[in-house]
Copies of this chain bind each other. A is one copy, B any other.
């Protein structure tokens, strides 16, 4: 998606060859109007799933905003997997899965209340990033436990040089990413399906 690639090129910070910071519009400061455009793009990409999917599934915290932006176009509710346990307001009857966080270098448990994901539902997974695919696999595992059906995985930014997307596609999962980054060497972002080379501002930290 050209608009997203331009935004990444203009504002994103390459922190290291495998870490990109987009906290200025996607996952800390949120440009809600821009996320609406990304949500509309998901609806175009998965147009054949409008009226078919029953739910959008994501994981807290940074998936919530983009999942909600997409949900408005599919007219379905968002279900977000919660991290950890011990919350008094959470259902105890849950589907759980373990997820290794690439950015935090920790293993966490994500869970979804069983009553909110039923057998036969058709689910679209939406998330902000796809790198090693750990979060996506955790969500897919939960969908499987629920005997629900996976429509596909919609990602804002895929790091194409990390194996998550390739592995999921090899398993037959439909993965649609609005921007696929081929490499971030030398602080430069190269997108997979574009000859354009982007040179975002080098990170100063």
Selected from B29, B86, B88, B93, the residue in CB contact (under 8 A) with A78 is B29
Interface residues of A in 119-147 (CB under 8 A from B): none
Is the CB–CB distance between A68 and B15 below 8 Å?
A: no
Does A77 make an interface contact (CB < 8 A)?
yes
Cα(A87)–Cα(B112), bound, Å? 23
With a CB–CB cut-off of 8 A, which chain B residues contact A86? Answer: 104-106
Residues of B within 8 A of A33 (CB): 72, 75
Q: Is the CB of B36 within 8 A of A72?
A: yes
Please state if A88 and B15 are interface contacts (CB–CB under 8 Å). Answer: yes
Q: 1/0 per residue A75-106: CB within 8 Å of B?
A: 10111101100111111110000000001111
Interface size on A, residues (CB 8 A): 48
Closest beta carbon of chain B to A155's beta carbon, Å: 16
Q: Does A6 contact B (CB under 8 A)?
A: no
| A105 to B89 alpha-carbon distance, docked (Å) | 12
Residues of the B chain whose Cβ atoms lie less than 8 Å from the Cβ of A35: 68
Verify if A21 is at the interface (C-beta below 8 Å from B): yes
The answer to whether A23 has its CB under 8 Å from any CB of chain B is yes
With both chains docked as a complex, state the minimum distance between the C-beta of A15 and any C-beta of chain B, in angstroms.
7
Binds B, one of A44-52, A59-67, A178-186: A59-67
> Could you say which of A15, A16, A87, A93 has the most chain B C-beta atoms within 10 Å of its C-beta?
A87
Excluding A28-B112, A30-B68, 6 further A-B contacts by CB distance (< 8 Å) are A23-B90, A23-B91, A28-B116, A29-B116, A92-B205, A93-B205
Q: Which 8 pairs across A and B sit closest by C-beta, in order of nearness?
A: A60-B61, A32-B71, A61-B61, A30-B78, A64-B64, A29-B116, A88-B103, A32-B68
